[in-house]
Amino acid sequence: MMNMPLNLTPPVINPNAEKVLSKRYYRKDENGQCVEDATGLFWRVASSVAAEEAKYEQSPWKPDALARAFYDMMTDWRFLPNSPTLMNAGSELGQLSACFVLPVGDSIEEIFDAVKFAAMIHKSGGGTGFSFSRLRPKNSRVGTTGGVASGPVSFLRIFNTATEQIKQGGTRRGANMGILRIDHPDILEFIRAKEQEGEFNNFNLSVGITEAFMQAVEQDRDYALVNPASGKEQGRLNAREVFNLLVDKAWQSGDPGIIFLDRINRDNPTPAQGEIESTNPCGEQPLLPYEACNLGSLNLSSFFVPGHLDETNPADRGIDWAGIERTIALAVRFLDNVVDASQFPLERIAEQVRRNRKIGLGVMGWADLLYQLRIPYDSADAITLAERIMDFIETRGRAASIQLAAERGPFPAYETSVYPTKGIPPLRNATITTIAPTGTLSILAGCSSGVEPLFALSFARNVMDGERLMEVNPHFEEALREIDCYSQPLLEGVAELGSIQSLDQLPEDLRRVFVTAMDIAPEWHLRMQAAFQRHTDNAVSKTVNLPNSATRDDIFAIYWMAYEEGCKGVTVYRDGSKSTQVLTTSAPA
Ligand code: UDP
């Protein structure tokens, strides 16, 4: 590792972040004592990722200057790489990606290979997605033994149990995505798999929806179930009845979600390498079998400039666009270096990753930026700005990847990818943008997560092992102080309610801007997801929150809207439909 410069500025760390860092991120000795602080951590990450630069002769950067720039961009909370990079960069483990997809073949050997590979990935802090669609259905014959097959849902249980036993490298529990195609004969059992609370607790489940199925729903027709082992039709179901069952289960518990498989494959940049069958656990990263991807997020709220005025376009007021552009270029270089720096648990994964060199640059702090700009999340202005910002990140991110390709060569599969035929010049990375949930990163950066609205203006956060942390949104606090309304009793009242919409004593314009997840109509959640999706190569992590009183028809409408708006999938959550929520206000659900 490069020597740590003596004049590094230590980051300003909020108490929640310090707690998370010392519990999970700082390197520890054999007695569990932390052997680094935040400066040490960010220097370890910055210097080891920058060291990769040395092998590229055409680079305009010297590794030590680059390390310094990486360090500054992380410690100013402008950009953070995904958790495995923070935890493992510069360490012996060296596995830096958050997202993996593994194939599950239709044989005992292949199934248990996938269980083993998943265990190895979980140990290193990555999450795994699987499609179970190739497994023969329950009760089919097993040729070699003459017995009967137990089917995808039964095997899913083995993956779930294995995950339970492996805490991810002592850092976090493994997260999984399980996908089954809508035309698999066991689809009804799969849709009902999480009926009982606690079942498959280490899995998010999503049904892989096809265009053919959606058309059958629209026309109220039957559709064929296909046995993946024989390729033959095995029964028919009424599409609308199946869709209604999906809606019903999502209404009850939020599970399963849906992903639009054909749409994901329409945007597959490397179809010559096969079909995409699954995403990572939180749904934002579709990947080929054995592929992995590392993510990173720009903290949009850190680019707010009070009073900043761009003369040419008043709509640009308040945002340091030049700063975002500089950070994008640096972040893309960082994420591409991570592809080189990362060590993978399987050679096959390393090969697949280095063929396409996918990276996923996204955002966090979006709701905070809207608060800072005093734009309501559920407004046309917010949607317009979302598109404008993500378009900016998409085009500048692509330019940065083109620049890297000129210095280092394009990703090896560029020639057989879709890009040459589209007239897109050589890129270093097959995908560049992804919007991650940023569950932990947003705590570290002290901003709102991903592109989600705030859950509450003041709330208790359930983090790790049942601990609760109290938080008040700083922009809300500032706005209250500006109008002389700040008081402890008021804040306590807000913590109790989560929202300020019923507090008539507060000015109307304040209430209009400081909306929270439950104040926002589901359609606006969806519109926001769609706006970001329009400029994202991969997908957008987003939950459409609905009030407890939402009906099945409301969920049906949201699913349909997600389809029509071009989303790649959708996850809904009806308030109070699970007994343990990640975030809760102190008010009973
Ligand atoms: N992930 C995981 N386990 C977790 C949280 C996340 O495996 O407990 C993986 C998963 O693939 C997820 C991705 O990391 O989709 C990104 O999640 P997030 O942005 O919340 O992670 P962070 O980098 O903030 O920890």
Token pair listed for 561: 């809207």
Question: What span, in angstroms and rounded, lies between the C-alpha atoms of 64 and 68?
Answer: 6
Instruction: Report the pLDDT averaged over residues 234-241.
Output: 97
Query: Are 304 and 369 spatial neighbours (Cβ–Cβ below 8 Å)?
Result: yes
- What pLDDT band is residue 198 in, cutting at 50, 70 and 90? confident
Instruction: Report the pLDDT averaged over residues 81-92.
Output: 96
Question: What span, in angstroms and rounded, lies between the C-alpha atoms of 232 and 72?
Answer: 58
pLDDT value of position 467: 67
The three-point CA angle 60-64-67 to 5° equals 90
- What pLDDT band is residue 583 in, cutting at 50, 70 and 90? very low
Specify the length of the chain in residues. Answer: 589
Question: What span, in angstroms and rounded, lies between the C-alpha atoms of 469 and 23?
Answer: 14
Catalytic residue among 160, 280, 294, 337: 280
Helices (H), 53-184: 63-75, 83-88, 108-123, 152-165
Cβ-in-10-Å burial (0-12, 13-18, 19+) of 541 comes to buried
pLDDT value of position 311: 47
Q: Could you identify the atom of ligand 1 that is nearest to the CA of residue 129?
A: 11
The one-letter code for the residue type at 484 is D
- What pLDDT band is residue 170 in, cutting at 50, 70 and 90? low
Close Cβ partners of 332 (under 8 Å, ≥ 6 residues apart): 359, 361, 397, 400, 401, 404, 429, 432
- What pLDDT band is residue 580 in, cutting at 50, 70 and 90? low
Cβ-in-10-Å burial (0-12, 13-18, 19+) of 521 comes to middle
- Which sign does the torsion angle of CA 303, 307, 309, 315 carry? positive
- What pLDDT band is residue 96 in, cutting at 50, 70 and 90? very high
- Is 440 a pocket residue for ligand 1 (Cβ < 6 Å)? yes
Question: What span, in angstroms and rounded, lies between the C-alpha atoms of 140 and 154?
Answer: 13
Instruction: Report the pLDDT averaged over residues 406-411.
Output: 98
Q: How far is CA 105 from the centre of its chain?
A: 26
Query: Are 65 and 72 spatial neighbours (Cβ–Cβ below 8 Å)?
Result: no
| pLDDT, tens digit, 9 for 90 and up, residues 113-151 | 999 999 999 988 899 999 999 999 999 988 777 788 899
pLDDT at 460 over 90: no
- Is 81 a pocket residue for ligand 1 (Cβ < 6 Å)? no
- What pLDDT band is residue 488 in, cutting at 50, 70 and 90? confident
Q: 474-482 vs 366-373: helix axis angle to the nearest 10?
A: 10
ipTM score of the complex?
Answer: 0.95
Question: What span, in angstroms and rounded, lies between the C-alpha atoms of 430 and 413?
Answer: 8
| pLDDT, tens digit, 9 for 90 and up, residues 278-314 | 999 999 999 999 999 999 999 999 999 986 555 456 6
**Most ligand 1 atoms within 8 A of CB, residue of 74, 82, 85 to mutate:** 82
More confident residue, 167 or 314: 167
Question: What span, in angstroms and rounded, lies between the C-alpha atoms of 275 and 266?
Answer: 10
| 282 given a catalytic annotation | yes
pLDDT value of position 189: 97
| pLDDT, tens digit, 9 for 90 and up, residues 521-576 | 999 999 999 999 999 999 999 999 999 999 999 999 999 999 999 999 999 999 98
Helix H or strand E segment including 259:
strand 257-260
Which one, of 310, 334, 314, lies nearest residue 322 by Cα?
Answer: 310
Question: What span, in angstroms and rounded, lies between the C-alpha atoms of 162 and 424?
Answer: 43
Q: Across-strand partners of 360?
A: 295
**Most ligand 1 atoms within 8 A of CB, residue of 74, 83, 442 to mutate:** 83
Q: Could you identify the atom of ligand 1 that is nearest to the CA of residue 99?
A: 11
- Is 280 a pocket residue for ligand 1 (Cβ < 6 Å)? yes
Question: What span, in angstroms and rounded, lies between the C-alpha atoms of 546 and 515?
Answer: 14
pLDDT value of position 33: 94
Question: What span, in angstroms and rounded, lies between the C-alpha atoms of 525 and 233?
Answer: 38
DSSP 9: P
Instruction: Report the pLDDT averaged over residues 48-68.
Output: 97
